[in-house]
Amino acid sequence: MRKSLRVLRQLVAVSAAAAMLASCSGRDAANTTDLIIWQTETDPKAKEVLDALAVSFEQAHPGVDVQIESVPWGSLAEKLATALRAEDPPDIAHLEPFMAYGLVERGLLSPIDDIVADIEEANGPILPAVRDLQLFDGKRYGMAYAVGITGWTFDTRKSGGLALPYPGGTSGTISQDALFQYLARVKAANPDAKVLLPGGSPFFMDQLFGELVANAGGRLYDPATQKFLFKSEPARQALQFFIRLKDAGLLSPDWQGQQYVDQFSRLAAPGNTFLTPVTYARASVAIEKTLEGEPASATASVFRFMSPPTAQANGRPVATIDAEPFVIFERTTSETVPGGGTKRALAAEFLRAFYAQENYLKFVATVPIHLTPIFGKLANDPAYLNSIRPGWVDWHRHTLTFLEDANLTRPILVPGPDSSTLAEDLRNPYLLQLQAQGIISRAIGQALEPNANVESILDEAQSAAMRLVNREIRPAGGQ
């Protein structure tokens, strides 16, 4: 009894203190609404722009408390899974396209066609490669906050004087066989030259595997049969690509511990790193920082950003597109806010404010090229182009070449030869679990071990992937 009374007195004291704090702050909890936003952008300046937007939004909407939480990409899946199990997701969040369908299928996301229409009316059409990444059954459930694509980046200083074989400038492409022939010549001229893979960041190894599958004309999953396709010839070719790197003596010996964010500093620094696949344009920032005392070397003419090599019969390359969309959770449609209206309407107003040109251009200009605007008009606007350092304009031109043709890109973990199967391939509720369990990166690691048996490795990957299909889908990110 004494313990119960003591607990009761503590609760009363806490309640009184909370009431006093609310009174002192001038905020009335009953008339205050929290707008919870999870975002994954890591650049400090970009986050400052978001924080400033939150302040201005609160000033324009008295009683609204905007809470922007920066969630590391590596922990997003687990954090989201925990929130969904507790039936307490954020109001707005960043997701990857491959994460969305599992949530749409369970009715957890709100369509945002009305918001997309308003924003396109103000900013012009969204780039073709980006617009339909969250389109399911004629409804859009997300809108990218910015966009980037992968290239394969060469440090031309370490090529032994051999000209790069890519025709037609940076947007040209070559076959995978031609790439290996060129790398053999580089190896002969510079025996120390190496290709650096981000093995310490499995998510990016997954991306590279998917990109190789796409450039072999394949898919990772067949929605018609609900079967993964690790036993297909394109998947086999993708795995063989890594083995070819190893057998040619081109693989950095410490690749398994190499973190993605650090590989571009190694590319720019003296040493043997000659080529980095899975390059996003943020790499230019790391290169410039590494070569701070050599600004003439920190340019696109020295660090050539090239199309992925292809094995498709049509010779067309496919790059990986990174375009994390903003989504609004469905529960906001039934949650009312003080003064009338719903939380969903409030979330819509925040997104309209974010994409307003004045705010949006401030945001994307914090990391030029990597945060490419999703609108063709703004991506070519002098206000944005002036934010790009002159030495890197070719990287931007290359990026736009791919974003203006939906057949040249595929989302992370959604490989395919072109855009013809994109809508079907996105309807895969198992991709988040596939990535979380490390099925792809484990297969790559096994393939690079001595005496690896490719067929056994693919059998194991297929079995592991199909176990996801043959059991009940758990909350996103669950094991």
pLDDT tens readout for residues 241-261:
999 999 999 999 999 999 998
Quote the distance between the C-alpha of residue 195 and its chain's center: 22
Chain centre distance of CA 281: 12
Tens of pLDDT, residues 414-460: 999 999 999 899 998 898 889 888 999 999 999 999 999 999 999 99
**pLDDT score, position 474:** 46
* Lowest mean pLDDT across 17-26, 241-250, 347-356, 459-468: 17-26
pLDDT (0 to 100) of residue 133? 93
Model confidence at 22: pLDDT above 60: no
Please name each of the domains of the chain with its CATH number.
Answer: 30-147+323-385 (3.40.190.10), 148-321+411-469 (3.40.190.10)
Burial 269-294 (b: 16+ CB within 10 A, else e): eeeebbbbbbbbbbbbbbbbebbeee
The pLDDT score that the predictor gives to residue 30 is 62
Residue 127 near residue 380, CB atoms below 8 Å? no
Pairing label, strands 92-94, 325-328: antiparallel
Average pLDDT of the residues in 80-104 = 91
> Roughly what angle, to the nearest 10 degrees, separates helices 233-247 and 202-214?
120
CB 130 within 8 A of CB 403: yes
Q: Is the dihedral of CA 151, 154, 156, 160 positive or negative?
A: negative
Residue 205, pLDDT > 90, answer yes
The predicted model scores a pTM of: 0.87
Question: Given this model, what pLDDT does residue 169 score?
Answer: 59
pLDDT value, residue 329: 97
